[in-house]
C-alpha cells in the first residue's frame, strides 16, 4: 500500500508512532527512502511520549523529517486529537483495520470519511 501511494505521487507520510502497527508503517516508509524521495513525519500525542525508552521508537523518531507534538501534557483525548490532526493534513489514509465499530481506529476512519479523505484498508482479523 505504501508503494502504491508513492506511485500515486504521495511523498509525505505521517505516523503517530504509538502502536506496533504505527512503528511498522514508519519502518517501511523509511525503507522506501533508499529508492524514493519520501518523508516521514512523526505526530506525537503529548510531549512526554518523546522520552519513551523504546529503542525502536527513538531510532525511528530521529529519522523523521519532522516531529509535531500535539499537546504539552497528556489528556484523555490527546490521541483522538493526534488522529484528527493527521487526517486534517492528509489527502489519503492507509488504515489497518479489524472491522470493530469502536476504538480509535474506527473513530478516525469515521472522521476521515466525514471530511472526504480517500481510505485504503488493510484488513486484519479481530
Q: Residue 125 pLDDT more than 90?
A: no
Give the per-residue pLDDT at 124. Answer: 79
Per residue in 46-104, pLDDT (tens digit) is: 999 999 999 999 999 999 999 999 999 999 999 999 999 999 999 999 999 999 999 99
pLDDT of residue 126: 65
- According to DSSP, residue 43 is labeled E
- Beta bridge partners, 13, equal 40
- C-beta separation of 104 from 21 below 8 A: no
Question: Residues 6 or more apart from 117 whose CB is under 8 A from it?
Answer: 87, 90, 91, 92, 93
Domain positions in the chain are 2-93
Give DSSP secondary structure letters for 91-113: SEEEEEE---SSHHHHHHHHHHH
Domain 2-93, CATH number (from 3.40.50.450, 3.30.70.260, 3.40.50.720, 2.120.10.10):
3.40.50.450
The proportion of the chain whose per-residue pLDDT surpasses 90, expressed as a percent, equals 97
Closest listed residue to residue 117, CA positions, set 96, 100, 81, 93:
93
Amino acid at each position: 500500500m505504501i508503494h502504491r501511494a508513492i506511485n500515486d505521487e504521495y511523498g509525505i507520510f505521517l505516523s503517530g508512532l504509538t502502536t506496533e502497527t504505527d512503528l511498522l508503517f514508519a519502518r517501511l516508509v523509511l525503507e522506501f527512502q533508499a529508492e524514493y524521495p519520501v518523508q516521514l513525519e512523526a505526530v506525537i500525542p503529548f510531549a512526554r511520549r518523546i522520552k519513551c525508552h523504546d529503542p525502536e521508537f527513538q531510532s525511528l523518531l530521529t529519522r523523521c523529517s519532522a516531529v509535531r507534538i500535539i499537546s504539552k501534557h497528556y489528556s484523555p483525548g490527546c490521541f483522538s486529537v493526534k488522529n484528527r490532526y493527521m487526517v486534517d493534513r492528509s489527502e489519503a489514509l492507509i488504515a489497518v483495520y479489524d472491522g470493530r465499530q469502536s476504538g480509535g481506529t474506527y473513530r478516525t476512519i469515521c472522521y476521515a470519511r466525514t471530511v472526504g479523505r480517500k481510505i485504503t484498508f488493510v484488513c486484519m482479523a479481530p
